[in-house]
Amino acid sequence: LASAVVILPGLVFLIIGGGLKPGIDFTGGSTTGLEFVSNVKQATLRAELTALGYQDAIVQQMDDRAYFVRTKELDEDQKDRLVDNLKTRLSPDGITVLSFDLVSPVVAAETVVNAMWAVLAAAVGVFLYVWWAFRNMPSPLRYGVAAIVALLHDTFVVIGIFAILGEVFDIEVNTMFLIALLTVVGYSVNDTIVIFDRLRENILLYPNRSLANNANLSISESLGRSLNTSLTLLFTLLALLLFGGPTIRVFLWVLLIGVIAGTYSSIGVATQILMVWEYDDVRRLFRRSA
């Protein structure tokens, strides 16, 4: 129920909004390398671009006075006007255009497809690894499936929340979002395997104890470790959010949401899926309803 409260509104917003709000990386655009003669700070350049109507611009610092700027698609005239405006406002002594390239929507679409394949490959790899790692346990397939369910749960939580943020606050997703999502996948599986590994040890130590009791014991013994690890990471992410630059802000928000969801799913979803399958609770539930 707690998971449904988070996931279902996100799915509704995904349907209403037609998916996540894509950034320049996925819709195409222009990339421009600029070197300023005057000393221009990254925050100042970003503010000026916003004032000129490029609210979605992504600014990355390459050197002390050189920046890599991504904007919506520009032609040569628009690029020249942008450089002239920045020169007038920020660097009267001059600006050198280091590079200017177009990212077509076709290339952006390929990025989306490749990202989907990357997530799928990660999920398959995780499933096969968990299946192999627990091959000496009864029904090792179930451990792999339970880990994948927890992984999908965390992915849906992140995507659902960003669907809501995109519709309400106009927040876009970019390639940093995908990188962070893959990071969340790895973190979630790592936390799940810790509990599963503890469950394996308890099954070997207490073979006469029921699987449910061994599962409860394993979660209790791993609870402190999981919470401490996650809190340590959360403090680091919060520090980066407070003091880091806006370029990696989407990446940090995905990690922050993903760490919370991953900790919760490892404790409250993965092992429970294993138990539901073991005791055939779903079929019993339908029989009771009938």
DSSP result, 117-139 = HHHHHHHHHHHHHHHHHTTTSSS
The closest alpha carbon to 118, from 182, 177, 180, 162, belongs to 182
Q: What pLDDT shows up at residue 107?
A: 63
Residue pLDDT tens, the chain, 290 long: 888 888 999 989 888 877 788 877 777 788 888 999 888 888 888 889 988 888 878 888 877 788 988 888 888 888 899 999 999 889 888 898 988 887 766 666 677 778 778 878 888 888 888 889 888 888 888 898 998 999 899 999 999 999 998 888 878 887 788 888 888 888 888 888 889 999 999 998 998 999 899 999 999 999 998 899 899 999 999 999 888 777 788 889 999 999 999 999 989 999 999 888 888 876 776 676 66
The amino acid that residue 20 corresponds to is L
Nearest to 133 by CA among 151, 153, 147: 147
Residue pair 152/261 in contact (Cβ under 8 Å)? The answer is no
What pLDDT is recorded for position 239?
93
Spell out where 116-233 has E strands: none
What pLDDT was estimated at residue 289?
A: 64
pLDDT of residue 8: 92
pLDDT at 106: 65
